[in-house]
Chains A and B, each alone.
Chain A
Amino acid sequence: MAQTPEQYYGSADNYGSGQYVTLEDVVNNFMLMYVGYDKLIDNADRYNVLFHAKRAVQELNYDAFKEIKVLETLVNDDLKVILPQHYVNYVRISYEVDGVLFKLSENPEVNWATRYDQDANQDYLFDVDGNLIEEESELDRIRKEGEYRQYMYPGTWYGRYGWCCDGFWYFNYRNRYGNDASRMTGNPTYVINKQEGVINFSSGLSGKLIVLEYITDGLENEDPSQVSIHKFAEEFVYAYIKWCMLNNRLGVQEYVVRRAMKEKSSLLKNAKLRLSNINPRRLLMALRGKDNWIK
């Protein structure tokens, strides 16, 4: 139903709502406008339409919408941060110092491991129930306790950077010359452990604030009137549902399915283009800087 200006400005929940349609509207509209005895889809269960509509919302959230969620959180002593509830993938992870964000790099090497207790003969030890006994792995211990600094003692390793844990020094396998440039950063690093659902940070971030920018599948809210779809992508959602239903239906001519597929694909391109928000004025502003001298 249309809102009056008074209703719109009267509640902060309504601000900017003109940009979006809700999942509830999409499902209702589809059932009303695309399903019927005189339509391509003569009958359809609402839960089928709802399923495809939700899938469309997920797909759009993965690569078309720029609906980035931002979480600021403290890193625990165990250098782990639990992934947010509806996290699908991260955009950027930074650590925050006095309101300034320092981008962190992902460490391509694992920095955690599961380790089982072993006796002096390296045989695994079991508890009374016959299960393996877990203990903290060396990788975890170093990640948590280690401190990356310069080794300033006489010997072959003098001047090299490494980790000192419990009086023992650990160095990178690679030498300084020929180092992997992608890993050369003074900032701490992180590795995402998808199975455990946590982000493992390297040492030095304990008790510090990190800022996680991430995307979700857009379906955090069970209430369909709270799941929003940008109007630029509304037509794509209808086309996507239509294609999915025709594609799964027995006896639909191939040319009808292909027509629906082409419609869906071109509307996705349109939606992405519109959502990318390219406008001449913004391009002009960027191009004004093209003749700047770079010193």
Chain B
Amino acid sequence: MINEVRNTVMFILNKDNNGYLTPAEFNAFARLSQLEVFEDLYQKVNNWYTKRNNRRSNSGIADVTKHVTEDLEGFVKSSSLALDTGSTFTLPTDNYSLVDILYSSKSVEKVSNHKITLLNNSNLTAPTTYYPAYVERETKVTLYPTTITSGVSAIYVRLPEDPNWTYYTDTSGNPVFDINNSGYQDFELPKEYEKELVLRILAKAGVNLREADIINVVNGEEAKNAQKEQ
């Protein structure tokens, strides 16, 4: 998809000789745009669940809640956690948001830092190996009871890989798309987000090239999209 996106962007930008986007610039804008769309997915899922609760959502092929949830679930990953010290484990570097922590096939419950002391002192609900708990601090999680030192894994939403439009230079000095390059990385978002990616990259390119027309067109398109989703 990355090549199609770049071609579209370049086509629009060069239509009126507005300017040129180098591969490095494109990759930088593509990375940022993908992150923005990815973060918007969270809000989208939340909005659609609210609509469903208000009976403003349908079922079957019109089930948009299910559809957007699936888009996000494409980034859900499972990985075992490495022990740091005591019962503290290091989270994976590509972690965006934790879904669940598991210990011996049991779900470990997230507890806020200000509640964990009270919970540890509770006579009925202090964390046990049957009902463990964890707190999150920086990029680490600490599990309770502190006897847990292994067998911990995380289910989490990972960050998308940074897109990389790879190329070689032809005899005329123009960059030509090279899908076989080891550094190649396509967008990880589904195909339906192509238009959104193009618009966002264009917006950034417009700012870069100081082209007010492009920014205005993109802003208009985004406003239309937002209205459609209401």
Question: Which residues of A approach B to under 8 Å, CB–CB?
Answer: 24, 27, 37-38, 45-47, 50-51, 54-55, 219, 222-225
CA distance A37 to B46 in the complex (A): 11
- Asked whether B193 is an interface residue with its Cβ less than 8 Å from the other chain, the reply is no
Chain B's interface size range is: 10 to 19
Please list 8 pairs of residues, one from A and one from B, whose beta carbons are closer than 8 Å in the complex, sorted by A's number. A37-B49, A37-B52, A47-B109, A47-B111, A47-B131, A222-B128, A222-B130, A223-B130
- Residue in contact with A54 in the complex, picked from B53, B107, B125, B130, CB distance below 8 Å: B125
Contacts of A54 in B (CB 8 A): 124-125
CA distance A54 to B131 in the complex (A): 13
Cβ B109 vs Cβ A38 within 8 A: no
- Asked whether B199 is an interface residue with its Cβ less than 8 Å from the other chain, the reply is no
A38-B53, A46-B107, A54-B124 known, 17 other contacts, Cβ within 8 Å? A27-B131, A37-B52, A37-B53, A45-B109, A46-B109, A47-B119, A47-B122, A47-B131, A47-B133, A50-B125, A51-B124, A51-B125, A219-B124, A222-B128, A222-B130, A224-B131, A225-B130
Contacts of A46 in B (CB 8 A): 107, 109, 131
Contacts of B49 in A (CB 8 A): 37
**Contact pattern, B 60-95, Cβ under 8 Å of A = 1, otherwise 0:** 000000000000000000000000000000000000
Q: Name which residue of chain B comes closest to A223, CB basis.
A: B130
Asked, given contacts A45-B109, A224-B131, whether A50 binds B124 with beta carbons under 8 Å apart, the answer is yes
Contacts of A222 in B (CB 8 A): 128, 130
Contacts of B131 in A (CB 8 A): 27, 46-47, 50, 224
**Contact pattern, B 146-164, Cβ under 8 Å of A = 1, otherwise 0:** 0000000000000000000
Q: Name which residue of chain B comes closest to A217, CB basis.
A: B124
CA distance A27 to B130 in the complex (A): 12
Contacts of A224 in B (CB 8 A): 130-131
Closest CB-CB distance, B125 to chain A, in whole Å?
4
Cβ A55 vs Cβ B124 within 8 A: yes
Closest CB-CB distance, B155 to chain A, in whole Å?
16
**Contact pattern, B 106-131, Cβ under 8 Å of A = 1, otherwise 0:** 01010100000001001011001011
Q: Name which residue of chain A comes closest to B108, CB basis.
A: A46
Cβ A24 vs Cβ B130 within 8 A: yes
Contacts of A38 in B (CB 8 A): 52-53
CA distance A47 to B131 in the complex (A): 8
Closest CB-CB distance, B84 to chain A, in whole Å?
24
Q: Name which residue of chain A comes closest to B112, CB basis.
A: A45
4 closest residue pairs by CB, A with B: A47-B125, A51-B125, A46-B109, A54-B124
Contacts of B53 in A (CB 8 A): 37-38
Contacts of B119 in A (CB 8 A): 47
Contacts of B125 in A (CB 8 A): 47, 50-51, 54
Interface residue ranges of B184-209 to A (CB < 8 Å): none
CA distance A47 to B111 in the complex (A): 9
CA distance A51 to B52 in the complex (A): 31
CA distance A50 to B125 in the complex (A): 7
CA distance A54 to B49 in the complex (A): 32
Contacts of A51 in B (CB 8 A): 122, 124-125
CA distance A46 to B111 in the complex (A): 10
Contacts of B122 in A (CB 8 A): 47, 51
CA distance A222 to B123 in the complex (A): 11
Q: Name which residue of chain A comes closest to B133, CB basis.
A: A47
Q: Name which residue of chain B comes closest to A48, CB basis.
A: B125
Report which residue of B52, B119, B122, B130 has the largest number of chain A beta carbons within 10 angstroms of its beta carbon: B130
Closest CB-CB distance, A28 to chain B, in whole Å?
9
CA distance A225 to B49 in the complex (A): 34
Interface residue ranges of B14-64 to A (CB < 8 Å): 49, 52-53
CA distance A46 to B131 in the complex (A): 9
Closest CB-CB distance, B129 to chain A, in whole Å?
9
Contacts of B130 in A (CB 8 A): 24, 222-225
CA distance A54 to B109 in the complex (A): 17
CA distance A275 to B125 in the complex (A): 28
Q: Name which residue of chain B comes closest to A226, CB basis.
A: B130
Closest CB-CB distance, B44 to chain A, in whole Å?
15
Q: Name which residue of chain B comes closest to A224, CB basis.
A: B130
Q: Name which residue of chain B comes closest to A46, CB basis.
A: B109
CA distance A222 to B129 in the complex (A): 9
Closest CB-CB distance, A238 to chain B, in whole Å?
18
CA distance A50 to B131 in the complex (A): 9
